[in-house]
Amino acid sequence: MTQLLFSYGTLQQRDVQLATFGRELHGTADQLPGFHASMVKIEDPQVVKTSGKSHHPIVKQTGIAENRVAGTAFEVTDDELVHADQYEVSDYTRVSALLSSGRTAWVYVDARA
């Protein structure tokens, strides 16, 4: 079964996709309304090595519809979603959210909020 996974950060990178899913994902541009993006320092050396970045974007819900985060909605399998969970560090938690397109997707948001 396939599900939608919305990425606004490193899961959009080809090298991260190959390392995490074993393939390049194809998706469509979309937006996440009611959220604001900031950055978080990544402490996991493997994630930093995979992404090539020590700071990653992270989103928090604001409830303000005008706040929007641009990204990509990817179709992934249930197994690939598990791999995405393993890639994301504990600063993130996966939630279901409504995208601007009207589709519902999984998205990783700030677990510290």
When pLDDT is cut at 50, 70 and 90, the band that residue 10 belongs to is very high
Residue 113 confidence (pLDDT): 76
By the 8 A CB rule, do 54 and 39 touch?
no
Task: Indicate if the pLDDT at residue 11 is higher than 80.
Answer: yes
For 36-77, write each residue's pLDDT tens digit: 999 999 999 999 999 999 999 999 999 998 999 999 999 999
Give the span between the Cα atoms of 94 and 89, in whole angstroms: 11
Question: What topology does CATH give the domain 2-110?
Answer: Hypothetical upf0131 protein ytfp (3.10.490)
Q: Any idea how long the chain is?
A: 113
More confident: 80 or 1: 80
Residue 44 confidence (pLDDT): 95
